[in-house]
Structure 1
Amino acid sequence: MEGGPDSACVLGIDLGTTSVKVALVLRTEQGLVVAESCSRETQAYTSSVEAGLQGMEQDSRRIIRALNECLAALPQQQLQRVSHIGISGQMHGIVFWKRDQDAVVSGCKWTEGATGPVFEPDKVSHLVTWQDGRCSPAFLSSLPLPQSHISLATGFGCATIYWYLKKSPDFLKSYDAAGTIHDYVVAMLCDLKKPLMSVQNAASWGYFNSRNKSWNTDILKKSGFPVHLLPEVGDPGSIAGRTISAWHGIPKGTKVGIALGDFQCSVYSCLTERTDAVLNISTSAQLTISMPSGFQPPETPDPSSAVTYFPYFDGDYLAVAASLNGGNVLATFVDMVAQWTAELGFQIQESAIYAKIIKAALGQNDSHLSVHPTIFGERHTPEQLASVTSIAASELSLGHVTRALCRGVIENLCSMLPVQRLMETGVRRILGSGSALARNEVLRQEVERILPFPVVYGKDVDAAVGAAMVMFHRK
């Protein structure tokens, strides 16, 4: 995009795991600034009919409702100036929808809302999220080996399709299109004849070769996989199409970018130097570095590797230690303490417990207690559980345990992507972000104790802003 302070603006959208966020980003003389933003909790989790307790699904209608609520809250005058829309969302997951017989994607109904035309899902399945657990290690081992650098895991789109194919084939007969939830939104906005997916999202589904940017169709066909459900694939940062209708006041014909991974957009929102590493601790935790230009990942997956190479932009890759154990570990610990106090006949709010255990840990500068906090397992070791060792009678206070737990979260990340590897890659600085890191001084202290680099906080990652920035920097 070109122009000064009066130029058009870009709308960034992120369809996250628990909430939807939208951001209007403008170019000013000071650079890119967020003019308006809004977020809404989706409250979309719902039960899974087919997978039972192992399933983790969300109601697609509630996600789109939250998106509509966010856009309706933004100033109409600003929305009318939107020239590009960038969309990101939770990766790996899959949603199915039904197309019209003329091969034009339907999947929704356009209606007139208070702020102009809006669309609502129609003939659309639940979103099976990245957290879904229906594909057991035994089930995954029964599937063909992918020709991909990324190991297949439960919650990946192709793994979920295989599960339906083998466990509930009638389900698949109801649909003829599939994508991530953000691919779905792009398809609806642009009325795409066939879903279009970025390399970033395709790699997160499994059975995708990032080197030649193609699905493993030969491998999939041999096992009876319904390859007609696989979207077409395009480069991240490219334009998927134009809006077929005005949308909450956004003009008809507005350019829409191909849907992007929320992780890549989050990194894009703050990473400016290749010598920076991004440490993000929210519900989960990630430690990320940029790989040198020209790097290519291995041709075959290494299931035991704790580092995953995520396609980024312009053919580059990010090396990511993506831990399933972050702020959720501390939240589980707080919940445990709350249950114990309730069983003892006392009622204390969890927010009060959190504040007290952090205060107690600040009073304990060290603890020899060792907590391996992988209570949720890890993708490269799904059956690994948490453990506590070096237990001494003198270090059983809440302060000692909380300090050790916080240290364990950081040490676990560093066991996945060691400090030596960071040094060899040329890392000079850590950009710290994420809600858990922001609210927990003990976590920050342990970061600075374990990582021998300057740490800069306040570089909060924001996928909605990152998605908008991508559109500013490309056409």
Structure 2
Amino acid sequence: MAGSKAAGRPAPACVLGIDLGTTSVKAALLMGAEQGQVVAESCSRETQAYTSSLEAGPQGMEQNVRRIVRALNECLAALPQQQLQRVSHIGISGQMHGIVFWKRDKGCKWTECGTGPTFEPEEVSHLITWQDGRCSPTFLSSLPLPQSHISLATGFGCATVYWYLKKRLKNSGFPVHLLPEVGDPGSIAGRTICAWHGIPKGAKVGIALGDFQCSVYSCLTERTDAVLNISTSAQLTVSMPLGFQPPETPDPSSAVTYFPYFNDDYLAVAASLNGGNVLATFVDMVARWTEELGLQVQEPAIYTKIIEAALAQNDSKLSVHPTIFGERHIPEQLASVTNIAVSDLSLGHVTRALCRGIVENLCSMLPVQHLMEMGVRRILGSGSALARNEVLRQEVERIFPCPVVYGKDVDAAVGAAMVMFHRK
């Protein structure tokens, strides 16, 4: 009887969330339920999009847009067609601060594939990502002060535009016409112009949202929670009190940035450039050393071994300041190691000290005491690096005096879908 009743009901509409991340693309289908929303299906694909930049040199950090879109199409092709056909709204999220250029009306072209029409990039530049380092502190100091409470940094799209203007053109006037119109989060930017992997023509597409805000939106339900995310980079954030307004002018030396959030709220964010990428660099260094010694060990095996070694060491007197990628508020600062003793030179000691340093660096930007004063009672731990690294989790729990909760669904694609679901 229940089955026959369900068969007679119209299938509920779905909302599609898309996250174009730094290393992967994810798509998530959200469906309505009596007690909220449930993730019906999701899919993730590595983009493998990094490419060299001859123009910017070793400081450049660019990605091939075609590979990113290919990963997106692979994600959608892997989702159930029956559910994609019920998509009414699409929320889009992605890595923040970067920029990509395209020729007007030639940004993409539509082609036919096995699942129907799809689009491919046509005349587009590489994506210059948030990790790009071509804009030196000296260059940034020569630019006009932004009319914002957020300071300018290398990797930000507008700074990259100025870099191109200075390198290629005599006239350094900023091309304001390149900037998009600013709209409210969750409002509609347009509609799909044709069917796309089964998604109906005319599905509403929301204004793109930052992956950080969408990740927080997917999990943060209490103002007494703080979110700690350690993935490629690392962030520690907490909601500001209702009615908070940031200062009118930026403070380039401040380690905390106030990110605009939903419903006119703001998040206090310590956004570190040093997270899982530091561990990845350490593993790469060990792999290169072993290769120079005539040995061949794959990086995944090295990662497993150093974590096992660190778990065997409860403590390390080594002090690692892991800012190998600098920080936006102190770009000249590099990494350092102190308190080096003969007794703490094993891979286990070094790895544990490195993990502790990543967490301590983040907490130096937004101190634990400040969180407690703001009423934080719980830490929501998230991110790929934190999920796969028990040593990092141990150090997080050692540093924070309040409970740390893992396993929350912290997902930018889900957050983007939730924003559209709540506003449709």
> Which TM class, normalised by the smaller chain length?
over 0.9
Q: Does 1:253 align with 2:202?
A: yes
Matches within 5 A, 1:379-418: 379-418=328-367
Matches within 5 A, 1:322-361: 322-361=271-310
For residue 445 of structure 1, the aligned residue among 385, 394, 401 is 394
Q: Does 1:17 align with 2:22?
A: yes
SS at match of 2:158: helix
Q: Distance in 2 between matches of 1:41 and 1:441?
A: 23
Q: Match for residue 228 of structure 2? A: 279
Contact kept in structure 1, 2:30 and 2:41, CA below 8 Å: yes
- Give the aligned residue type for 2:350: V
Q: Percent identity?
A: 87
SS at match of 1:69: helix
Q: Match for residue 381 of structure 2? A: 432
Q: Which whole-Å deviations, capped at 9, do the CAs of 1:197-243 have from their partners, x for residues lacking one? A: xxxxxxxxxxxxxxxxxxxxxxxxx9611111111110111111211
Q: Match for residue 167 of structure 1? A: 167
- Give the aligned residue type for 2:241: P
Q: Which whole-Å deviations, capped at 9, do the CAs of 1:433-463 have from their partners, x for residues lacking one? A: 1111111111111111111110101114211
SS at match of 1:20: strand
- Give the aligned residue type for 1:283: T
Q: Match for residue 5 of structure 2? A: none
Q: Distance in 2 between matches of 1:318 and 1:134?
A: 28
CA gap of 1:137–1:85, structure 2 versus 1, over 3 A, is same
Q: Distance in 2 between matches of 1:5 and 1:354?
A: 50
Q: Which whole-Å deviations, capped at 9, do the CAs of 1:246-274 have from their partners, x for residues lacking one? A: 21111111111100001111111111111
**1:340 Cα deviation (Å)?**
2.1
**1:30 Cα deviation (Å)?**
4.7
For residue 184 of structure 2, the aligned residue among 231, 235, 243 is 235
CA gap of 1:64–1:382, structure 2 versus 1, over 3 A, is same
Contact kept in structure 1, 2:162 and 2:172, CA below 8 Å: no
Q: Distance in 2 between matches of 1:327 and 1:472?
A: 31
Q: Which whole-Å deviations, capped at 9, do the CAs of 1:128-186 have from their partners, x for residues lacking one? A: 1111111111111111111211110111111011111110239xxxxxxxxxxxxxxxx
**1:54 Cα deviation (Å)?**
2.5
Q: Does 1:79 align with 2:84?
A: yes
Contact kept in structure 1, 2:27 and 2:44, CA below 8 Å: yes
Q: Match for residue 310 of structure 1? A: 259
Q: Which whole-Å deviations, capped at 9, do the CAs of 1:376-425 have from their partners, x for residues lacking one? A: 11111111011111112222222221111111111101100001110111
Matches within 5 A, 1:36-435: 36-99=41-104, 105-169=105-169, 224-435=173-384
Q: Which whole-Å deviations, capped at 9, do the CAs of 1:254-309 have from their partners, x for residues lacking one? A: 11110000111111111111110001111111111111111111111111111111
**1:329 Cα deviation (Å)?**
1.2
- Give the aligned residue type for 1:29: E
Contact kept in structure 1, 2:165 and 2:172, CA below 8 Å: no
For residue 29 of structure 1, the aligned residue among 34, 49, 66 is 34
- Give the aligned residue type for 1:399: G
Q: Distance in 2 between matches of 1:88 and 1:402?
A: 33
How many residue pairs get aligned? The number is 416
Q: Distance in 1 between matches of 2:169 and 2:69?
A: 27
Contact kept in structure 2, 1:286 and 1:413, CA below 8 Å: yes
Q: Distance in 2 between matches of 1:310 and 1:77?
A: 38
Q: Comparing 50-59 with 236-245, which one deviates more in the overlay? A: 50-59
Matches within 5 A, 1:463-474: 463-474=412-423
- TM-score between the two structures when normalised by the length of structure 2: 0.94
**1:64 Cα deviation (Å)?**
1.4
